[in-house]
């Protein structure tokens, strides 16, 4: 009985049980032979040859024992040794050539001798035939094979370079014009880094090579050593999206090569997690004395003195409203004109409460993070004196159902390193538009009621009975209007006073 087993190393070996009558002669109950391969098909063929060889040996041993012929037994051992060399030839040879012919001739001679030597055994012919079949199978195994196609079974596009897949990707995943331009730029950079390598053969090392080229080609901002984390992430996301789509559409297989290839440097969230501080009085004076408020050259040349009045521009009003309400930039820019309501003679802004990355840990912990958390912020009389009603009226005439502040990337306008705050001279690592919220929080210290301060700042109610959506009581409104004052005099911005 024979067994084909696989070792923990992965290689196969053959186990053959020795018949009882031959155990005293061979000296063991089982014969084990390594087949020297970890491929199942090859192991099965080699096991057949090895098993047939052992059957032949044991049959000849029986014959020699029956005839009590010591010379025949020695000759048998010589034939066995020759046959073992033959088997090793089949197991180790890659291209048989002339040696295969010589091995075939040798096998025929051995088979002939076996037939004569074992003539009275009915199994002699069967053994000879089985050995010849083994030779044919072994010859088929060792014949030079055409290497397997690694891309077999994949989509035909698997042989295309990554940038050539962009049209097919866009057909499945359309992109806006600005994003499309980014895809084209990054795929062109990919080709410079990796050439026309087939998409199915892309590895993580190729992505690293592209990322290295990105870092060498994109100039970092002043004071930085590498391109910003956001810039790197946007670029890498183009490659990540196309490779992910290729995997989903069977244009490539396996783990995404972009895994564990991340932008270098500090993330935007980590950068904004720096402890922000309130504006100092001299900084507020510089902000509200800028040409944006006192008269500028034009709407695009807002930092140059001139005659252009920016009174009806959202860039003019957002810092003022943030200072007098403490609302975050994201909360203000989503306000619609319908969110401006009047209750019991008091004008309110219905602001949806939401935490932001610039909030410190304490503020984030206190802020309710549900879509339905709306707080009503009373419009301070100081905003009225500054002319907020005229601005709201003008916005309603221009776009009755639109936003309170016209759509714009206000975060970039105010906070970028070469934009408004930088040109005014108040930009630093610990100041940003969010500093207006910190300043307003300082202003609210004039209120004795801590629960009222929390409600105005958008912090979670301390008790079940409190809520965001309710207007303030008359006493609360009176305290807010009377006690809360801006840190500096804004009288020069009142209508008719300097504009």
**In this predicted structure, what is the pLDDT of residue 414?**
93
> Phi and psi (nearest 5°) for 482?
-85, -40
Cβ atoms < 10 Å from Cβ of 139: 14
Structure-block tokens of residue 22? 């031959």
CB 242 within 8 A of CB 166: yes
pLDDT in tens, 206-236: 999 999 999 999 988 766 788 888 888 899 9
Q: How far is CA 167 from CA 162, 164, 174, 175, 186, in A?
A: 11, 7, 10, 11, 14
Full set of structural domains in the chain with CATH: 2-142 (no CATH), 156-265 (1.10.150), 281-493 (1.10.443.10)
- Per DSSP, the three-state class of 307 is coil
List of the chain residues with pLDDT < 50: 94-96, 120-122, 366, 368-372, 464-465, 499
Q: What is the pLDDT of residue 35?
A: 77
Report pTM: 0.49
């Amino acid at each position: 009985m024979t067994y084909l087993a696989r070792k923990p190393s992965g290689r196969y070996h053959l186990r053959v049980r020795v018949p009882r009558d031959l155990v005293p002669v061979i000296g063991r109950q089982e014969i084990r032979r390594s087949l020297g391969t970890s491929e199942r098909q090859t192991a099965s063929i080699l096991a057949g040859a090895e098993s047939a060889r052992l059957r032949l040996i044991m049959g000849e041993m029986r014959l020699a024992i029956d005839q009590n012929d010591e010379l025949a037994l020695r000759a048998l051992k010589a034939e066995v040794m020759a046959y073992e060399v033959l088997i090793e030839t089949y197991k180790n040879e890659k291209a048989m050539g002339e040696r295969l012919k010589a091995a075939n001739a040798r096998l025929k001679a051995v088979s002939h001798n076996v037939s004569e030597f074992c003539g009275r055994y009915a199994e002699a012919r069967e053994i000879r035939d089985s050995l010849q079949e083994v030779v044919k199978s072994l010859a088929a195994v060792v014949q030079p094979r055409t290497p397997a196609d690694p891309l077999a079974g994949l989509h035909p596009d698997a042989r295309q370079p990554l940038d050539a897949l962009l049209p097919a990707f866009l057909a499945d995943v359309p992109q806006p014009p600005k994003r499309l331009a980014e895809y084209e730029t990054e795929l062109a950079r990919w080709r410079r880094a990796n050439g026309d390598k087939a998409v199915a053969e892309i590895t993580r090392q190729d992505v690293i090579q592209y990322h290295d080229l990105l870092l060498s080609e994109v100039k970092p901002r002043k004071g930085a050593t590498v391109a910003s984390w956001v810039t790197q992430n946007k670029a890498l996301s183009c490659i990540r999206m196309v490779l992910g789509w290729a995997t989903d559409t069977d244009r490539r297989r396996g783990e995404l090569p972009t895994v564990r290839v991340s932008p270098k440097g500090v993330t935007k969230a980590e950068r904004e997690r720096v402890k922000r501080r309130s504006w100092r009085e001299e900084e507020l004076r510089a902000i509200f004395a800028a040409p944006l408020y006192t008269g500028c050259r034009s709407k695009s040349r807002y930092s140059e003195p001139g005659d252009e009045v920016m009174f009806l521009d959202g860039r003019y009003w957002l810092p003022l409203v943030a200072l007098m309400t403490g609302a975050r930039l994201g909360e203000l820019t989503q306000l619609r004109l319908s969110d401006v309501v009047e209750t019991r003679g008091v004008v309110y802004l219905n602001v949806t409460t939401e935490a932001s990355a610039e909030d410190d840990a304490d503020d984030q912990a206190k802020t309710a993070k549900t879509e339905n958390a709306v707080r009503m912020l009373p419009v301070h009389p100081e905003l009225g004196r500054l002319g907020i009603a005229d601005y709201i009226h003008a916005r309603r005439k221009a776009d009755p159902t639109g936003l309170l502040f016209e759509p714009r990337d206000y975060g970039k306008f105010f906070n970028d390193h070469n934009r408004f705050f930088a040109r005014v001279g108040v930009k630093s690592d610990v100041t940003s538009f969010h500093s207006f919220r910190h300043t307003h929080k300082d202003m609210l210290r004039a209120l004795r009621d801590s629960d009222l301060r929390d409600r105005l700042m958008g912090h979670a109610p301390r008790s079940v009975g409190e809520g965001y959506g309710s207007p303030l009581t008359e006493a609360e409104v009176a305290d807010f209007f009377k006690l809360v004052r801006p840190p500096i005099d804004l009288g020069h911005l009142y209508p008719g006073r300097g504009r």
